[in-house]
Structure 1
Amino acid sequence: MLKRTAHRIALLWEKIFDRLFNRTGKDRLIEAYMGYATDEYLIVRGRVLTALRRNKPQPHQSRLTNIKQILSLFLTDEVADVAVSAGTHKAQSDEEGYFQILVPRGDQYGWIDIDVTIEDRDGTTACPVLIPDPRANIMIISDIDDTMLETGAYSLARNLWTSFSGNALTRHVFPDAIELIDALSDKGRNPVYYVSSSPWNLFSFLTDIFTRTNLTRGPMFLRDLGLSETKFITEGHGNHKGGSIDVLLNSNAELPAILIGDTGQKDAAIYKDVIDQHPDRIKAVVLRTPGAGLDAADHADIAALSKTGIPVFHGRDFKGMTEKLYKIAFE
């Protein structure tokens, strides 16, 4: 009852905010996300907004400036019910402006750009899509926060402080994560995907960090923090991550996967569920242990994960794991 009431109040305030700040205006443009491929289609993804919010941080700017810039990324001006198309293939933006266009898959592979247009608007937006190399023998599915990027997601207070007080030039990416992903991707032959609880509002922010640190590029599966008539804020962390991994495994039916995550957000339990649903598809699991280390629940989750027979590696860092995983990936 309380959640239902809060949902109704939030919807009302969003409608008021839309009118006050002209979010129902007629400006239209596309924020392009990185799409992915299934055996039959290219999934072209993006969001229709009235304006793109981007920051140009400086290395030594104040934390207050960082907080203001991050908060500005959440003031999205999304536009619903807009027709978008890639050639003859069409889609409609949903309540939060998101869209997916299905384009039949051809013989190309690697990164390609699909031009997307908005109905009754001039110009196109290039939406990148990753098509796995036919020589690929594995895919890598990785978490981001506290796996690739130091965040402190195991503590809500630490997570919020780290996420909001830093900027794309100051956030720390673990060097051992860059090394591991680079080795497993094998110069782009094996596709890399990132599944995170971070919201889509931080897509450009995360992309800037990846570019700065040379972390291997890959389609991201982030969360929608928006409101709709049927959804209050977002689905849970586990449901989002498990569901996204399920989509990727079904999209790449011939490729086994290595799952990379951390113990701070109970990835061991989530990955155990994935293995139960997709037996014989997971070749190894890698977990970073952030914060104070493993608690009793973490030990139990890792023990249950190990009983599946899948190789499980966990530790404070990924040092010494690259060579072992490389052998597993290419055996």
Structure 2
Amino acid sequence: MIKRLLHRLALRTERVADRVFHRPATGREIDPYIGYATRDQIIVRGRVLSELRGDDGMDGQSKWDNFHRMFLLFFTDEVANTTVRCANTEAQTDEEGYFTLVLPADGRDGWSSEDVFVEGRAEPVPCPVFAPRSDARFLVISDIDDTMMETGAYSLLRNLYTTFTGSSRTRRAFADAIALTTCLSDDGRNPIFYVSSSPWNLHGFLRQVFDNTGIVPGPMFLRDLGLSETQFITEGHGNHKGASIDHILSVYPDLPAVLLGDTGQHDAQIYHAAIERHGDRIAAVGLRAPGPGMDALDLRDRDRLLETRTPTFAGPSFDGFAEQLALARPDLFLTDMERKPT
């Protein structure tokens, strides 16, 4: 009851703000999200906005300038109920401007792009698509914040400060996470997907951070923080992450998965539930213990993972995890040393 009342109040407030600040959706821009291809279809994703706002951070930029740029990423003007087209396939944007185009599979692998047209804009926008290689042996599903890059998501205030006062040039990625995912990727042979509680508003920002720091790129599954007639803010962290894992495993049914996360947002609980649902499809779990490390609850969750007999690694860094994987599942994992030609 209270949530429903808050939903109505927030929706009315947004509509008043639209009128007061004059946010007419006159422009037509596409914010492209990384899509993905399966053996059955190609998924092209994005969002139509009246204006694109990027984090074009510069070295030495002040925290206030960073805050202003990051704030603008959340103050979007969505274009709802407009037509987008790719080849012979059309779709309508939803209330928040999001769209998904489902194309027939064509056997591609690696990176490619699809030109997407939007009603009211003459020029197409290329939307990237990633297709796992036919010789992939497993896939990786990884969290982002405090797993791949330092955020402080285990503390709300630290998380907000890091998010809003940094830029794509100042955000720090963990060297051990880059080394691990680079090793697991095996020069693109094994796909990496990212599942995060970060909002879709940060998709372009995160792609820039990945490019700047050398994090292996891959399709992202983020959350919608928007407000509509049918949705109040977003679904919960655990529900979103669990549903995304289920979806990825369902569209790549022949590939086992390595799950990477951190203890700061209780990923161990989410991954334990995934093991209960998918059993041996989960080949291994790796967890970073950020900040103050693992508390009693984290240790309990780690022990529950160990009881499943799924190879599990938990520590302040991912150093040594690749070697443990090679020992636990030599049929799937090879170390960098074994890959080197003799």
TM-score bin, normalised by smaller chain: over 0.9
Opposite residue 80 of structure 1, the aligned amino acid is A
Aligned-pair CA distance for 1:170: 1.0
Q: Does 1:51 find its partner at 2:51?
A: yes
Checking the alignment, whether the CA contact within 8 Å between 1:263 and 1:290 is kept in structure 2 is: yes
Opposite residue 95 of structure 2, the aligned amino acid is E
Opposite residue 101 of structure 2, the aligned amino acid is I
CA 326–87 in structure 1, closer or farther in 2 if over 3 Å, else same: farther
The residue number in structure 2 matching 1:77 is 77
Moved more, 316-325 or 125-134: 316-325
Checking the alignment, whether the CA contact within 8 Å between 1:108 and 1:131 is kept in structure 2 is: yes
Q: Does 1:283 find its partner at 2:319?
A: no
Checking the alignment, whether the CA contact within 8 Å between 1:183 and 1:326 is kept in structure 2 is: no
Aligned-pair CA distance for 1:20: 3.2
Whole-Å separation in 2 of the counterparts to 1:76 and 1:120:
18
Whole-Å separation in 2 of the counterparts to 1:282 and 1:24:
47
Q: Does 1:201 find its partner at 2:204?
A: no
Q: Does 1:330 find its partner at 2:322?
A: no
Aligned-pair CA distance for 1:325: 2.6
The residue number in structure 2 matching 1:177 is 177
The residue number in structure 2 matching 1:65 is 65
TM-score by length of 1: 0.97
Deviation per CA, 1:77-100, whole angstroms, max 9, x where unpaired? 111101111111111100100000
Whole-Å separation in 2 of the counterparts to 1:191 and 1:227:
32
Q: Specify the SS of the correspondent of 2:48.
A: strand
Whole-Å separation in 1 of the counterparts to 2:322 and 2:310:
17
Opposite residue 40 of structure 1, the aligned amino acid is D
The residue number in structure 2 matching 1:113 is 113
Q: Specify the SS of the correspondent of 2:115.
A: strand
Checking the alignment, whether the CA contact within 8 Å between 1:149 and 1:173 is kept in structure 2 is: yes
Alignment of 1:104-183 (within 5 A): 104-183=104-183
Whole-Å separation in 1 of the counterparts to 2:122 and 2:115:
12
Q: Specify the SS of the correspondent of 1:278.
A: helix
Whole-Å separation in 2 of the counterparts to 1:116 and 1:58:
30
CA RMSD after TM alignment = 1.3
Checking the alignment, whether the CA contact within 8 Å between 1:184 and 1:326 is kept in structure 2 is: no
Aligned-pair CA distance for 1:254: 0.6
Opposite residue 324 of structure 2, the aligned amino acid is K
The residue number in structure 2 matching 1:26 is 26
Alignment of 1:196-235 (within 5 A): 196-235=196-235
The residue number in structure 2 matching 1:274 is 274
Q: Percent identity?
A: 53
Which structure 2 segments of 5+ residues have no match? 335-342
Q: Specify the SS of the correspondent of 1:297.
A: helix
Deviation per CA, 1:65-124, whole angstroms, max 9, x where unpaired? 111111111111111101111111111100100000000111211111011111343111
Q: Does 1:103 find its partner at 2:106?
A: no
Whole-Å separation in 2 of the counterparts to 1:264 and 1:170:
22
Whole-Å separation in 2 of the counterparts to 1:41 and 1:21:
41
Whole-Å separation in 1 of the counterparts to 2:196 and 2:169:
20
Deviation per CA, 1:226-245, whole angstroms, max 9, x where unpaired? 00112110110000111111
Q: Does 1:312 find its partner at 2:318?
A: no
Deviation per CA, 1:292-314, whole angstroms, max 9, x where unpaired? 11112111111111111100001
The residue number in structure 1 matching 2:256 is 256
Deviation per CA, 1:219-274, whole angstroms, max 9, x where unpaired? 01111000011211011000011111111000101111100000000000000111
Opposite residue 72 of structure 2, the aligned amino acid is S
Aligned-pair CA distance for 1:326: 4.7
Q: Specify the SS of the correspondent of 1:73.
A: helix
Checking the alignment, whether the CA contact within 8 Å between 2:117 and 2:125 is kept in structure 1 is: yes
Q: Does 1:242 find its partner at 2:242?
A: yes
Which structure 1 segments of 5+ residues have no match? none
Aligned pairs, number: 331
TM-score by length of 2: 0.94
Q: Does 1:16 find its partner at 2:19?
A: no
The residue number in structure 1 matching 2:87 is 87
Whole-Å separation in 2 of the counterparts to 1:22 and 1:132:
44
Whole-Å separation in 2 of the counterparts to 1:171 and 1:230:
34
Q: Specify the SS of the correspondent of 1:291.
A: coil
Aligned-pair CA distance for 1:6: 1.4
Moved more, 190-199 or 31-40: 31-40
Whole-Å separation in 1 of the counterparts to 2:89 and 2:159:
40
Deviation per CA, 1:114-167, whole angstroms, max 9, x where unpaired? 111113431111111111100000101000000001001011111111111111
Q: Does 1:192 find its partner at 2:192?
A: yes
Aligned-pair CA distance for 1:22: 3.7
Whole-Å separation in 2 of the counterparts to 1:110 and 1:310:
29
